[in-house]
Each structure stands twice: as structure tokens, then as C-alpha cells.
Amino acid sequence: MPHIEAFGPGCNPRAACVCLEIPMSLPVRTLGTAALLVVLGTTACTPVRTHQGYVVDHDLVASVQPGIDTRESVAQMLGQPSFTSQFNEGEWFYVSRDSSNFAFRNPRVKTQTTLRVRFDASGNVAAVDQTGAELAALISPYGKTTPTLGRGRSFFQDLFGNIGTVGAPGAGAGGGGGGNTGP
């Protein structure tokens, strides 16, 4: 029961303190600790959802009209693209991705949308295409090495492979040919 102590431990001698004495038995403490651990454990298993990239507004995408809209009007409606094509300056890409992950796992892609706007030579919209994650390439690195195309030579073969071939006629790339063949 609450009571008033005049000069108890931890109390200011100039002011009275109100102290509550609540007896807690071992099962009550254990039950409280277990409930706290269950609550914390279930919140750690909640998936974390993230959105990356462009937020697709289907009404705005539908309002882009091939042959009528230009680069400037598309930039005003949809904003700047996520990226442009490296090889063809007439393509803009808007990419959005929704993913989720649990506590310590890698994120998994739930949905991915790629919107491609193609322009003709005069800067007018030629076509608008929309694809999903089915065209995305999955790149999974293998250990500490990256596979490359070409010959499977070791480091030492590359390092010492040209010894004796430099300047030899018919030795292939880097050797012979182009020398002074005058009298």
C-alpha cells in the first residue's frame, strides 16, 4: 500500500516522498520478461518493404502520346528519367522496384516496372513500352573471382607469356611487323 516516509532512503529530508511497495514474485517477473521477448521477437520478423526509383503514375504514363509529345513535354509530365540509353540517345528509362526483406536476409524483389520512352530523330515520342522484372538480368557474383570472356590463362601465363615473342615475325599480336625493312 502507498505510504508516506518522512526521511526514507532516496528521499529529500525537506520534502516527503511517496513510495509504492509492489511485491513481485518470480513467476510474474518471468512472465513479463517472456512477454517482452515475444513482442520484440515478432517485430524483428516483420518484413521491411522498400521502394526504389520512379513512382509510376499510370494516368500520366497513359497521357504520353506518340507523335505528339516531345522530350520537353515528357520531362514535364514524368520528370527526368532514371537513366538514358548509352548507345541510343533516343531512349529514356523510368525504373521502379518494390522489394522486401526479413531481419538479416537479402532483399527480394516483389515487383519491378521499367518504362521505356523512345524518341525519333526530331525529338518526338515514337513509342512507350512497359515491362516487368522478366527482362531484368540476375547477376550473382561467384566468390572472389569474376568470370570473363576470352582465354582462360593464369596470372603467370599472362605475365610471362610474351617472353620471346616480342619482335618475332609471325608471333601474333604485339610482335613483329611494322619494323624498318629498308636496305
Same domain, residue pair 52 and 39: no
How many CB atoms are closer than 10 A to CB 114? 20
pLDDT tens for 26-65 read: 677 787 888 887 777 676 667 888 888 888 888 888 899 9
Structural domain total, the chain: 2
Q: pTM of whole model > 0.95?
A: no
Supply the range of the domain harboring residue 121: 48-135
pLDDT tens for 117-145 read: 999 988 899 999 988 877 777 667 667 77
- For residue 150, tell me if it sits in a domain: no
- For residue 10, tell me if it sits in a domain: yes
Of 113, 107, 134, whose CA–CA distance to 53 is shortest? Answer: 113
Same domain, residue pair 52 and 40: no
- For residue 32, tell me if it sits in a domain: yes
> What CA–CA distance (Å, rounded) separates 103 from 47?
7
Same domain, residue pair 55 and 129: yes
